[in-house]
Amino acid sequence: MKRAAAIDCGTNSIRLLISDTTGAHLRDVHRETRIVRLGQGVDATGQFAPDAIARTRGALADYAALLKQHGVERVRMVATSAARDVTNRDDFFAMTADVLGAVIPGAVAEVISGAEEAELSFRGAVDELDSAGAPFVVVDLGGGSTEIVLGESGVVASYSADIGCVRLTERCLHTDPPTPEEVVAARRVVREKLDAALGVVPVERGRTWVGLAGTMTTLSALAHNMTAYDAAAIHLSRVPGDRLLAVCERLIGMTRSERAALPPMHEGRADVIGGGAIVVEELLRELRSRAGIDELTVSEHDILDGIVMSLCG
């Protein structure tokens, strides 16, 4: 048995998974999410803001301490959408090398492509799913991008669309709550990106829709009227289409303070989940019409699990 760790640094959050691994079997030791908003302003400026890097450094330092505390032997840290888009990524890499290298010599973050992000997310998400539900349409809705993957035992087709909850909010949803005109503009952006994605990924072949990441898990918590965020109850939970649309519509029309007051809502997600809800609504409409899929299955296992699996060979 070996102890390995994965760190996923996205546009909105930085997440850690420490696992004991036996072959391809994983056993969670520690799983944690911090909202650091590394991608703050990236869509407009093309650069990481210094305070965003500082926030990320603080969280990563805490994660490095946990790696040491738990005796982690191998770690892989990946950076996704925001890091693919910036011109000052060297500042970010220097920070990660400094923080991680102090605990595991030579450890540093790597930027992965949208295609690899999709593959790792798919691998982590479907490991526990019944193959009778295949083909799976796995959607990893992040802060800067949304990965859409079709696969069975492996990936058949994938596409990384530049529509995440942070990016869409910063681009279109400026008012609190957003105006009807802003929502219409956001839907237009999402549909344009989905048209391109679904021209590559034949979702009409899918049977089961699997949603990953914070927007999806929070929507499930709200749809099931949870009084607190319960990862165990959310994992592999199902949300019927009409219920999902009702929750999304409610969130889109709320103010940020109203969203923040919802019991399962992470404080760092309240300002951007409306953008994520618009993406989910448009995805559901496409999956209904193209594949007859009218239910979302939500997984707490995702790219982090896929990253650890990649360390196991």
For 153-209, the pLDDT digits (tens) are: 899 999 999 999 999 999 999 999 999 999 999 999 999 999 999 999 999 999 999
pLDDT at 227: 96
CA 25 – CA 160 distance, rounded (Å): 28
Residue position matching structure tokens 């802060």: 143
Mean pLDDT, the chain, as a whole number? Answer: 95
Residue 80 confidence class, pLDDT cut points 50, 70, 90: confident
Buried-state track 130-141, b at ≥16 Cβ within 10 A, e below 16: eeeebbbbbbbb
> How many Cβ atoms sit within 10 Å of the Cβ of residue 232?
8
Does the pLDDT of residue 286 top 90, yes or no? yes
pLDDT at 107: 87
Largest CA distance in the chain: 55
CA 193 – CA 81 distance, rounded (Å): 15
Least confident span in 66-75, 79-88, 194-203: 79-88
The total number of residues written for the chain in this structure:
313
**What are the pLDDT digits (tens) for 2-43?**
899 999 999 999 999 999 988 778 999 999 999 999 999 988
The predicted model gives 50-58 an average pLDDT of: 96
Does the pLDDT of residue 82 top 80, yes or no? no
The predicted model gives 251-276 an average pLDDT of: 96
The predicted model gives 75-89 an average pLDDT of: 89
CA 271 – CA 76 distance, rounded (Å): 30
CA angle 288, 293, 295 (to 5 degrees): 110
The predicted model gives 207-214 an average pLDDT of: 97
The predicted model gives 31-60 an average pLDDT of: 94
- Percentage of the residues of the chain whose pLDDT score is greater than 90: 88
- The H or E element that residue 203 is part of is none
Cβ atoms of residues 67 and 6 within 8 Å: no
Does the pLDDT of residue 223 top 90, yes or no? yes
pLDDT at 313: 67
Residue type, 209: W
